[in-house]
Amino acid sequence: MPLSREKIAATAIRLADEHGLDGLSLRKIAKELGVGPMRLYDYVINKSELLDLMVDVVYARIAEVGQRSGWRDTVLAIAHATRDAALDHEWFSDVLGGRPHLGPHALAVGEATAAALSAAPGVRDIDDLQRAVGALNAFIVGSVRREVTERRTARATGTDEAAFQASLGPYLTRMLKTGRYPTVARLVIDGAHLNAEETFNHNLTTILDGITSRPAT
Amino acid sequence: MPLSREKIAATAIRLADEHGLDGLSLRKIAKELGVGPMRLYDYVINKSELLDLMVDVVYARIAEVGQRSGWRDTVLAIAHATRDAALDHEWFSDVLGGRPHLGPHALAVGEATAAALSAAPGVRDIDDLQRAVGALNAFIVGSVRREVTERRTARATGTDEAAFQASLGPYLTRMLKTGRYPTVARLVIDGAHLNAEETFNHNLTTILDGITSRPAT
DNA sequence: TATTGGTGGATACACCGTACGGTAGCGGGC
DNA sequence: GCCCGCTACCGTACGGTGTATCCACCAATA
């Protein structure tokens, strides 16, 4: 089993899944592979390139959803696949939008979404398409990042009310008790029960409706 | 001039503006302040806490836009202030959405946007408000990240066509020449002339229209 | 004057990415 | 058959990071 870019990327992904991107180091990857650290540089230029490799592996999984019947179903499938991938590989959300995704599978995903959106009503020319792709991707990136961040803090503080009160509570409740943030307070207190996937879905359709129902300029 | 959290955060922001977040280290900050590295730990627990401090300083600038006459003007002002701040402090976009923003000024910005959105038509109850805030913030985070990333790669590769062809060109043009990404190719070739701020504005109004014009469920 | 408390500094540790020099094995030319 | 050159592999080393710990000094108090 002679070592390869794929094998390196695979173990790197596994380690990143377990210990996060900060806990990922070339030395640990090498040790996990039973190899000296410098061996990796025969297959990869940088840690940065290794990261690009990992990212494109994830995009390969996203690209697997393929094409659905209608443009809207395709977009929905890609968006949900992206979200699922980010929830499986939380480090993926740390990189989302932070560097250009130019791997072959990333391009394939981009092509699929762009092709789907170009068939949407309200998308008339290339400028419309560029804006639509931008809006959709921005929403996906932002949503996924937000959800992963929330999940992390929930895991760090503990899900239950008691642990929350113990960790963030003292500061946050004191802040909210000042009365300077009444709307935020209402959101925190009353609005914590919404399902994440439903919210994602809801906002996604809102965005798509906004794109398609745009009046002619 | 005895050193303080504010002074530390200010020089940290300056260094991060110049050399990026990766080029920021406690040792450099300390050296810039003419102080041993460990002195900083008398004012800050972690590098993480220092980052939170820096982030909240930026949010203070964003919060300065205050309240406009209508809910829509307020939201637009906050969104643009966020974008401007991220373009001034590109490291800010690296952190956007990646950690909970709980500083007092961040909460103030959150309160202002939530309050404004709660007055928007189509936002009837707390659940609507939560979703609307989520959609808007997701879009802002994603858009700003994308724009900063593009600006960075443009700066790295050089703006002009020749340098671009020399750096990313060989790989990207070869990829696009395969014919597997026709829509992306069209976007890259034909659609590079759009103004970033206009696009941001356009998509922002699209999102807001989508939120306000949602049918009653 | 002796003691104590706090303040600033230096040193040290574990870890990181990666540049560099060396070595062992192997295929090809004479 | 012998030797050479080349390639694949590897260990060591350097400069940097965040941070814990200990130490020296100095002011104020008993």
Same domain for A61 and A95?
A: yes
Parts of chain A with a pLDDT under 50: none
Considering only the beta carbons, identify the residue of B130, B146, B190 that sits closest to A97: B146
pLDDT at B215 over 80: no
Cβ pair B130:A172 closer than 8 A: no
pLDDT of residue B190: 78
pLDDT at B158 over 80: no
DSSP tag of A216: P
Q: Within an 8 Å CB–CB cutoff, is residue A153 touching chain B?
A: yes
Lowest pLDDT segment from A117-126, B83-92, B136-145, B188-197: B188-197
Same domain for A55 and A125?
A: yes
- Whether A71 is in a domain gets the answer yes
Residue A27, CB, strand C, below 7 Å: yes
Which sign does the torsion angle of CA A23, A26, A27, A28 carry? positive
- Whether A150 is in a domain gets the answer yes
pLDDT of residue B171: 75
- Whether A66 is in a domain gets the answer yes
**Cα distances (Å, whole numbers) of residue B169 to A35, A112, B116, B154:** 35, 22, 45, 12
Same domain for A6 and A66?
A: no
- Residue B51 and residue B55: Cα distance in Å, rounded? 6
pLDDT of residue A158: 64
pLDDT at B170 over 80: no
Considering only the beta carbons, identify the residue of A96, A187, A209 that sits closest to B129: A187
Interface test with chain A among B59, B67, B90, B111, by most A beta carbons within 10 Å: B111
Range A17-20, long-range pairs (CB < 8 A, 24+ positions): A17/A88, A17/A89, A17/A90, A17/A91, A20/A90, A20/A91
| Number of separate domains in chain A | 2
pLDDT of residue B160: 58
pLDDT of residue A49: 92
Cβ pair B190:A126 closer than 8 A: yes
Same domain for B11 and B95?
A: no
Give the position of tokens 């030395």. A27
Query: What angle (nearest 5°) sits at the alpha carbon of residue B176, between those of residues B171 and B179?
Result: 140
- Whether B50 is in a domain gets the answer no
Residue A39, CB, strand D, below 7 Å: yes
- Closest residue (CA) to C1' of nucleotide D7 is A42
Q: To the nearest whole number, what is the mean pLDDT of chain B?
A: 89
pLDDT of residue B173: 78
CA of B13 vs C1' of C18, distance in Å?
Answer: 28
Same domain for B99 and B180?
A: yes
pLDDT of residue A107: 94
The domain of A30 spans: 1-44
**Helix (H) or strand (E) segment spanning residue B99:** none
Look at residues A79, A140, A144, A139 and name the one whose alpha carbon lies nearest to residue A109.
A79
Q: Which one is predicted more confidently, B71 or A157?
A: B71
pLDDT at B192 over 80: no
* CATH number of domain containing A99: 1.10.357
pLDDT at B1 over 90: no
- Residue B34 and residue B47: Cα distance in Å, rounded? 18
**pLDDT per residue over B107-124, tens digit each?**
999 999 999 999 999 898
